[in-house]
Amino acid sequence: MAGLWFDELVVGQVFAHAIRRTVTETDNLLFSTLTHNPAQLHLDAEYMAASDYGRILVNSTFTLGLMVGVSVGDTTLGTAVANLGWDEVRFPAPVFIGDTLRIETEVTALRESKSRPDAGIVTFLHRAYNQRDELVATCKRSGLQRKRPA
């Protein structure tokens, strides 16, 4: 199992995830159309050529999903019970097609579950950086995580 048990996590622990991902035009196009997001920002190169950005912006929901998804193998794979929520989602800089993202995750809070003695609640702070080390996305994610079996 790749994920960690609740008991193995420590507040302040930081994971520099080994997986990096270059975002492709296909990623952005498929994600935007699969989620019925027809915004010109994500699909119309001619429209965006005349914008302040000069090119298509990658769908921010794709960026959020990728940021969290990359973290799973090192943190919650096989040990998560449920995702409880995402808070303070921010996109301080745009992501463009061709950007390569790397992800870091920090454990910011741990507490025992009141209703499930076999699990605890963990809060992660995820951060995504592009190839120029510019912060492009952050979010806090809370989840119910299994404790190591007795």
Q: Which residues of the chain have pLDDT under 70?
A: 1
HSE-up of residue 64 (Cα within 13 Å, Cβ side): 14
Strands (DSSP E) found in the chain: 14-22, 80-90, 100-112, 119-129, 135-146
Residue 129 within any structural domain of the chain: yes
Confidence (pLDDT) at 122: 98
Residue 1 within any structural domain of the chain: no
Give the CATH number, domain containing residue 12: 3.10.129.10
Range of the domain at 49: 6-146
Confidence (pLDDT) at 2: 81
**Nearest alpha carbon to residue 2 among 15, 13, 20:** 15
Q: What is the pTM of this model?
A: 0.94
Q: Determine if residue 34 is left, alpha or beta; phi over 0 gives left, psi from -120 to 50 gives alpha, anything else beta.
A: alpha
Confidence (pLDDT) at 1: 55
Instruction: Indicate the number of domains in the chain.
Output: 1
